[in-house]
Amino acid sequence: MLYIVPSPIGNLQDITLRALDVLKSVDLILAEDTRNSSRLLNHYQIIKALSPYHQHNEHKVLHHLVDQLLQGKKMALLTDAGTPGVSDPAFLLVRECIKVGVRVECLPGATAFVPALVNSGLPMNRFSFEGFLPPKKGRQTLLKQLAIEERTLVFYESPMRLVKTLEELAGYFGENRLCCVSRELSKLYEENKRGTLKEVADYFREKGVKGEIVLVVEGAPAGKRQRKEEEDEDE
């Protein structure tokens, strides 16, 4: 049995009672960073064996973990914050478990983009979660595609790259496209900065940026995709 366990994105009280019960019951906890997971476990007085599972070792340890699961061990997968698999390791292990018949159960719980999307005030009936933009290869191509996407767009971004990304989006989408930057969600200094791409870029360029970032951007005006496709056909 493999449990996928969401962990708090900031406030340690945002873990569910069921998640705590699961963490107490398993034989082994797989942790993206054992130091971060230890803080969570210590806070709730949970003593369990921890084993690292992250993007740098997931291929190496995958089959060994699956073999242990097939032998009857129960494991829980924790990442540093939020739901494993959402821009974090989990996919490879989940896929392999399903392939060999190991039961997988994902608990509901914290994930950063949902409160950021709701906080933004932008339409949330249809949205596209894009995670982290590619740093180099394919970045411009993707931005051109997203410029005509009519659904609300959701990105993760690092504080070091936020201003540059806002400036790039303003260049491809237009400076007046609305957005919201949510940082330090659920923590003491949570901030949700709303405005146009240009306004928000100017704000953070002057103020500086700290903390984990979720960027929500208004979708393209209705009909823009169709007009772009018609222009491409004419060419």
Q: What is the CATH number of the domain that holds 140?
A: 3.30.950.10
Burial of 168-190, coded b for 16+ CB within 10 Å and e otherwise, reads bbbebbeeebbbbbbbbbbeeee
Which residue, 77, 106, 135, sits at the end of a domain?
106
Overall domain count for the chain:
2
pTM value is: 0.90
| Residue that is last in its domain, among 91, 106, 121 | 106
Considering only CA atoms, which of 186, 166, 185, 184 is closest in space to residue 176? 166
Q: Can you give the pLDDT at residue 49? A: 96
Higher pLDDT, 223 or 9: 9
pLDDT tens, position by position, 207-222: 999 999 999 999 999 8
The reply to whether 233 falls in a domain is no
pLDDT at 229 over 90: no
Rg (C-alpha) for the chain, rounded Å, is 20
For residues 122 and 102, membership in a common domain is answered with no
| Mean pLDDT for the stretch of residues 70-86 | 96
Query: Average pLDDT of 154-180?
Result: 97
Same domain, 128 and 194: yes
- On the question of pLDDT at 6 being above 90, the answer is yes
* CA atoms of 235 and 232, how far apart (whole Å): 5
12 and 100 part of one domain: yes
What rounded mean pLDDT belongs to the chain?
94
Q: Are 166 and 63 part of one and the same domain? A: no
| 14-39 average pLDDT score | 97
With a CB cutoff of 8 Å and minimum separation 6, the contacts of 61 are 51, 53
Identify the CA nearest to 91 among candidates 134, 69, 58. 58
Of 106, 135, 153, the position where a domain reaches its end is 106
SS3 assignment, position 88: coil
Q: What does DSSP assign to residue 48? A: -
| Distance separating alpha carbons of residues 159 and 80, to the nearest angstrom | 17
Amino acid at 166: L
pLDDT attached to residue 223? 72
The domain of 88 spans: 2-106
Q: Which of 135, 139, 122 is nearest to 220 (CA)?
A: 122
Mean pLDDT within 103-125: 96
pLDDT at 224 (0 to 100): 66
Same domain, 121 and 221: yes
